[in-house]
Structure 1
Amino acid sequence: MANIRALQLIVSILIGFILVLSTTATASAQQRRPVVVGYLAAFKGLDLSIERTDLSAFTHYNLSFANPDTDGKFTREGRMTCMGDETGANLSVEALRGMVRRLQASGAKVLISTAGGVIPGCSGDWKVLLGPERRAATIAALVELADTLGLDGVDIDIEGQLLTEIDRAGDYTPFIAALSEAMKARGKLLTCATASYEGGMIPVSSIPWFDLVNVMSYDAIGPGWGQAGTEHSSYAMAERDLDLWLARGVARDRLVLGVPFYGYGFGGEKANWSYRDLSIAHGMNATKADVIGNLCGGCRYITHNSPATIERKARLAAEKGGGVMVWELSQDSPDHALTKAIGRGLLRE
């Protein structure tokens, strides 16, 4: 009888050990799963953007962009204070809450993205709102917004000169550190978007506080900037940007490579192109290369990312980072060609 009990004990221990190993392996596999972050632009129309998106393909959605009013409030009387839809009207809180639930039902995390590359006139002054006297109130307003909308976190997209001025005043990292602690206390995420040029990068001191760092690896050239005759978002640029942020201390599993679902035209071409419009106007065959036309200064051409390049970048992001970020989701072709390319690249780990 004693031998049987001993055998039963050994079997029980072995089963427990196997279950622990299985749970650990499952958790590890889930941790290694690449993220696919998609920005949904409210000013394009969130309903339209969601309709154009393959909801099974994305792990995170960033609703863009929310700004506070001069009092630091993000909502007032049931509406966002500075987050307009495609008509320019501020979105209702209830409508946003419904969209959050709809996106979460697909299994994704949903965040609100704040600020943006161009701060609208309805916004309060971020430099003032993040200063020592008003920082705590701004953080409280962001926490309240996340709770009110049922969000999984907040994305900070303070860019360019505004970022530089806030950082030089010594206000960026203290804001991020305090916001991160507030988000983590509620089991929510804090992420950011950053460029990779001097004056447009988040400070190194802020990096440890972010769950994801979304690197905007595009816009090397545009209608009013950059060297004529070059690509706006090359594969080489993606390599450089990932290496830069790894060297700056971003953990691999938190580093996310941003890719564009749009392009730019030069030399008489229309200046701004979504990949969707490009594929319809020129045909999918023409978009198999990253350049339509002659790539040279003064020449007529369009520079964008083809499905093949998006796939290569996704593969690179899986090798060196934690996944891919997209700006922005309404711009993919009707058959989701670029989204599918991301999936192929990430699966080839």
Structure 2
Amino acid sequence: MKSENQQFSSGKKLPHIIYLWLGDKIFKVVTVALGATIILITLGMAWVLFEEGSLAFYEFGFFEFLTETTWDPAVQLVFGAWPFLFGTLVTSTAALLISFFPALAVAIFSAEYAPKWLAEIIDNLIKLIASIPSVVVGIWGIFILAPWLRDAVYTPITVWAENNYPGLSPLLGNPMGYGIATATIVLALMIVPYTTALAKDAIKAVPKDQREASYALGSTRWEVIRMAVLPNARAGIIAGAILSLGRAIGETMAVAMLIGNKNTLPFSVFGAGATIPSVIVNEFREAVESLHLSSLMAIGFILFLIALIVNLTAAYIQRKLSIGGGQVI
């Protein structure tokens, strides 16, 4: 009788084990397939951009296309990506430099100093700012920010420079309100929420034991943050800043509405400029010549490479600076 019960019990367990094994295999196959799909889509996008831009690369040469300073789709049919590459790197890097420390300060205050009710308000405001559509930010910049900067900031600085340092006038340019400086300020405002949110998550992820050990040694709150919290959160903070840089590099509508869209060098601080996303959105629908269209796809491929490098850099820095992942500083 006992042996029959044991056989019955083992007979019931065997199908259950098979189901678990089969479910594990199905989950593994689905997960690998989805991951491979994302990789294939990314590679497909890169290949399409390169293939469509190959005419421009063949016509001008890859490095010559990168370094050429003339973009003339109307008369000469000469296309060079350097003005847009330069404008993209300058505006996005300057926006990160402007926004990083204010965003880090907000993250520290929200995570370490603010009471819970105030921290929740700050978090909701950050999410609200991040959710504002780019075109709405651009409209606000056109009607509010750009006129105010032109009258209250750019014009007084330009007049002062002309009276005291005339040699700076070409560098500053015409203070019309729409240009590289305005686009940079708007980009800085747009990436502050991302840098703040990622920095706060990194700070909150630091174990409480680190804080308590520092307090036990007699440290003040600021010393705890400076010596115990920030060193352990640096991986997330720096990686978040670089991801925000990638967000600034790919920003399109607000920049296209405020940067002035000048397609040739030299640029000036207050004068018009252009970025890769802005020239694509402004000229794609008007590109009738195959070489013009191919050139737009070619700078799109360059933008893809820049975004890929930025994201890989963020992942590398996060891995190297994480606890137990090695020391680089």
With the shorter chain as reference, the TM-score category is under 0.3
Question: TM-score scaled to structure 1, two decimals?
Answer: 0.26
Question: TM-score scaled to structure 2, two decimals?
Answer: 0.27
